[in-house]
Amino acid sequence: MTTTEPTHLPLPLESDWLDWVGARGEQQLALARSLVDGLRAAPPKEPLEVLRVWNEAQTALSNAGSVGSLFSEVHPDKQVRDRAESVAQEVQKLDTDLGLDTELYAVLAGLDGSSLDADAARVLERTLRDFRRSGVDRDEATRDRLRELSERAILLSQEFSKNIREDVRSIRVTPEQLAGMPADWVEAHPVGDDGLVTVTTDYPDVVPFRTFAHDADARRELVTAFLTIAWPDNDRVLQDIFAVRREHASLLGYESWADYDAEVKMIGNGKAIGEFIDRITELSTASAERDKAVLLGRLRQDRPDATDIDGADTSYYAELVRKEQLAVDAQRVRTYFTFEAVRQGLLDVTGRLFGLDWTPVPREDARTWHEEVATYDVSFQGERLGRIHLDLHPRDGKYKHAAQFDLARGVNGTQLAEGVLVCNFNRGLMEHDEVVTLFHEFGHLVHHVLAGRTDWVRFSGVATEWDFVEAPSQMLEEWAWDADVLATFARNADGETIPADLVEAMRRADDFGKGYDARTQMFYAALSYDFHVNQTDDLTARLRELMARYSVFPYLSGTHMQCHFGHLDGYSSAYYTYMWSLVIAKDMFSAFDRGDLFDPEVAGAYRDKVLAQGGRRDAADLVEDFLGRPYTFDAYAAWLAE
């Protein structure tokens, strides 16, 4: 390793982006290839040296991957995005090839790890596990079949999402049936020649319609159409996806896909997923029943003979209850959140909490991809840790959601951590939801930067188990709900600080329905788990059984929501992860004093023992080290009961 002081990645002048993205990708890919060639042909004698070369190759591959995935999503120039996309594909291909490279595996598997320190030994152990999970140590016929299955999985996955994307359904309603809809929405939905209005199953239609439309029949018709998207085509695709995964897991010697997938997660094995779902179901039942009774009570004011409430009515009545009984005026709330003040407030809050200094980098020095991107250097006790870029507003061709991307993963002596937040917030006043999202995503960014001082890229940044990744971010959301914290930056045009009682009311409104939401989430988690463990000929029948057991709301007749539940593909058997992280987040948060969220001792311990460790140890051990005891469900249960 070099001993020169690592620096940030210099970005190109505006006219040079296309060449730069291509060159950076090619150069890092070529470096990775040549390092691996060297390992195969003439590996160093010392095990530690072999791992160091492997680490350099992984760093180069990660650098190429970062440039590919970031700029294919954010660069304003389509040519640059396309160029980055092809870099990302090359990285993906090389990664797959390396995973099935028997010669390379032989070099690494032949190392005697007995003299390695804990970190290096863990790198070796994790690397060999990755290799085995890709099937590199199996006979040739099995490897060929695994490759076939992976290729088939990619095609099925594309077909599954395409069927969802392209099957837009719609209903036709009279203008009177739009009663309750916001004026700007009605304006954007003109009446056709036949006197009717079309409402589609796309999110910008279905979400407000099921929330605001007074007409119960129209709501029911639209929600039913929505929960029938991609039926029946995706029913068959799903069966094929599950079959491919079953065979994949079985070829590698696992009892189920859930066991294979969970092996590298905090939860450990498939059976534990089922137990977790049952446990959360039990913990959330009282809260779920309580809030559901409020919904049903409100429904009965309109329909006195109603005995239950289903998916056609839940969003509508939840909104009514929030408005009538929990009275929070969203129009008033947003006057306290001007974008510039929120961004500075976030930096001040996290700076104070973690002892970090965020220093703005002038635009002419940072040379980012867009003039709205704000760049900061980050340091801790005078030591430079890295650089962040905040790209927070929407524009054409840009990624549509909110996420943290890597620009570089920090490696001691080699490169500084650089991370990017990509969001789509309002430019003037922000909704409080957006403020919470900003804190959440910034949690990933802080994790990325703080865990960037490691010798091993394998453990750098958010390199922890997938079902722990969300916990630090979910915990940081708490700071965006604290009246004292918000008071440090949330001020309206008259300079008045957001009142504590308004924050309190916002929290109450947000808390309403958390129990039945948890039950609904556990129904989804049960679908994702059960379909990957138990073979069934009739997915809808199985869905109805699981819904009856896990959701507090009844099945909506004639629907087949499994066909458009996209996460069955992306998350496979692991949809439980978000709730799992939340349980851990609530537990970690219990260590903080709610009267003083800035207590430097607790925050410092959390920074050093959890965030800064990255993937150096199992998440369960990091959490135990911070809390002084193993994690429990107590804090989560207490929160549900609040």
Binding-site string for Zn ion from residue 119 to residue 148, where x marks contact by CB under 5 A and - marks none: ------------------------------
How near is the Cβ of 617 to Zn ion at its closest, in Å?
Answer: 21
The stretch near Zn ion (CB under 5 A) out of 352-360, 462-470, 548-556, 578-586 is: 462-470
The stretch near Zn ion (CB under 5 A) out of 28-36, 99-107, 330-338, 470-478 is: 470-478
How near is the Cβ of 585 to Zn ion at its closest, in Å?
Answer: 11
Task: Judge whether 69 and 88 are in contact, CB under 8 Å.
Answer: yes
43 or 472, CB closer to Zn ion? 472
Question: Could you give the CA distance from residue 272 to residue 373 in angstroms, rounded to a whole number?
Answer: 43
Count of residues in the chain: 642
17 or 466, CB closer to Zn ion? 466
Number of residues that bind Zn ion (CB under 5 A): 2
287 or 473, CB closer to Zn ion? 473
206 or 622, CB closer to Zn ion? 622
The stretch near Zn ion (CB under 5 A) out of 144-152, 379-387, 467-475, 510-518 is: 467-475
Please choose, from the candidates 199, 166, 278, 155, the residue with its C-alpha nearest in 3D space to the C-alpha of residue 563: 166
Say whether residue 464 binds Zn ion (CB under 5 A). no
How near is the Cβ of 423 to Zn ion at its closest, in Å?
Answer: 11
CA 296 to chain centroid, in Å, comes to: 33
In the bound state, the residue with its beta carbon closest to Zn ion is 473
259 or 470, CB closer to Zn ion? 470
Which residues have a Cβ under 8 Å from the Cβ of 66 and sit 6 or more positions away? 405, 406, 407, 408, 409
Does the CA dihedral 363-369-375-378 come out positive or negative? negative
For the record, the structure tokens of 602 come out as 């607790």
**DSSP secondary structure, 302-340, as one string:** H-TT-----TTTHHHHHHHHHHHHS---HHHHHTT-BHH
441 or 530, CB closer to Zn ion? 441
How near is the Cβ of 358 to Zn ion at its closest, in Å?
Answer: 20
377 or 470, CB closer to Zn ion? 470
Indicate the helix (H) or strand (E) that contains 299: helix 270-302
Say whether residue 577 binds Zn ion (CB under 5 A). no
Among 415, 473, 521, 581, binds Zn ion (CB under 5 A): 473
The stretch near Zn ion (CB under 5 A) out of 280-288, 468-476, 506-514, 594-602 is: 468-476
Strand, helix or coil at 419?
strand
460 or 473, CB closer to Zn ion? 473
Considering only residues 488 to 517 of the shown chain, the ones binding Zn ion according to CB under 5 A are none
224 or 473, CB closer to Zn ion? 473
Say whether residue 69 binds Zn ion (CB under 5 A). no
How near is the Cβ of 219 to Zn ion at its closest, in Å?
Answer: 31
Say whether residue 474 binds Zn ion (CB under 5 A). no
Task: Judge whether 55 and 457 are in contact, CB under 8 Å.
Answer: yes
For the record, the structure tokens of 562 come out as 């499994």
Task: Judge whether 88 and 96 are in contact, CB under 8 Å.
Answer: no
Say whether residue 454 binds Zn ion (CB under 5 A). no
Task: Judge whether 563 and 238 are in contact, CB under 8 Å.
Answer: yes
State the chain's maximal CA–CA distance in angstroms. 81
Question: Could you give the CA distance from residue 616 to residue 605 in angstroms, rounded to a whole number?
Answer: 16
Residue 244 CB burial class (10 angstroms; 0-12, 13-18, ≥19): buried
Which residues sit at the interface with Zn ion, rule CB under 5 A?
A: 470, 473
